[in-house]
Amino acid sequence: MDFDTLETEALKLDSARRARLARALLTSLESLPEEEIERLWLDEAVRRDADFDAGVPGIPAADVLHEARSRFR
């Protein structure tokens, strides 16, 4: 199963199961060596920079924070 299919299927789960899956995935990352975590963050930063250079619109920080806060109410 490719990533896009897996993501699509995971998003079909109810919220409790998505939360359980998210916890399991995040927990699995805690055991990564610090060097691997740094490499992953660098890869993500490079990807986001490439998106920015390609004209992919960003999301204003205020919008991101508002969305995050609304999920915890």
Q: What pLDDT is attached to residue 36?
A: 94
CA angle 25, 31, 33 (to 5 degrees): 125
Walking along the chain (73 residues) 10 residues at a time, the average pLDDT comes out as: 94 94 92 93 96 94 92 82
- Name the residue ranges covered by the structural domains of the chain: 1-31, 34-73
pTM above 0.85, yes or no: no
The token duo for 3 is: 């990533």
| Residue positions counted in the chain | 73
